[in-house]
Amino acid sequence: MRDPDGLIARAGVRGDPNRDQHFLVDDRVLDRLPTYLTDIDADTSHVLEIGGGTGVLTDRLLETIGADDQLTVVERDPPLAEFLQEEFSDAIDAGRLTVIEGDALEVDLPEFTSSVSNLPYGVSSEITFRLLPEQRPLVLMFQQEFAERMVAEPNTSEYGRLSVSTQHYADAELVESIPKEAFSPPPAVQSAVVRLVPREPEYDVENEAFFLRFVKALFTQRRKTIRNGIRNTAHISGLQKPDAVVDAADDEVLQKRAGAMAPAEFAALAELASEVGEPEA
């Protein structure tokens, strides 16, 4: 295994908090990360890593996946992408590793089978919701607070739009909290690893885009009742006839607040809203 500090030294870089660069240097954490995939027998025939940095996780992943498996790393920083190509030239020549220089939100991603990534925190939400619809097992690192919101249950303070949207695509489990000291330089907050295992939701949604928009709208007024939330957020949900939805919905649901609504309840209400509320396309 390559030494994390040695990789940083050879790369000739220092982490820059202003650029969202915090390099993971704790060997024990690095050793555990790939196991969160292998523990569930995930398909590692083509693993995707977002944010390769100096290659500390890349090194562990190459050691973990099979000899015939592939790893693709996306790195937006040109000097770091060049370093990865030099440092891991043997794996590249063997056809086991591909390094893509570019922004993970803009580049064409390969057909991957699973992902392990220490995401840039500033764009972690956008990247996650680019990956989740691909329906592949994901092991991703986030800020602790963000991770707790992803896995939260209804009627908790952390539960919100992020919880519903995440759990629409996958079973979400916070598998490990990571102290600040595991990084160089240490970030301002603690981090956490979330494992996302894809599965079909327990409810049917005809229009997924409207469902997610409807959930977003109602959580903007989480302290209001669902009745008032539907009426007050038509400009967000796109409902042209919010009063028609209120008239058609069950009164017990209308008296709830968003934080008490399970994903399946949101889905049922969204389906009703789609039928009678004439949402904009």
Q: Which residues are annotated as a binding site for S-adenosyl-L-methionine?
A: 22, 24, 51, 75, 103, 118
d(CA 162, CA 104): 20
Nearest residue to 102 (alpha-carbon basis) of 129, 133, 123: 123
Q: Which residues pair with 174 in a beta bridge?
A: 194
Helix, strand or coil, per DSSP, at residue 106: coil
Contact 72, 46 (CB under 8 A): yes
- 231, two tokens: 């009426």
- For residues 144 and 194, is the Cβ–Cβ distance under 8 A? no
The alpha helices in the chain, defined as continuous H runs, are 4-11, 27-32, 35-38, 56-64, 78-87, 89-93, 124-131, 144-151, 161-169, 208-219, 226-232, 234-237, 242-248, 251-254, 263-276
Going by the DSSP 8-state scheme, the letter that residue 199 receives in this structure is -
User: Phi-psi region for residue 238, left (φ > 0), alpha (ψ -120 to 50) or beta?
Assistant: left
Residues belonging to the binding site are: 22, 24, 51, 75, 103, 118
Q: Is residue 8 within 8 Å of 23, Cβ to Cβ?
A: yes
Residue 36: which of 200, 193, 198 has the closest Cα? 193
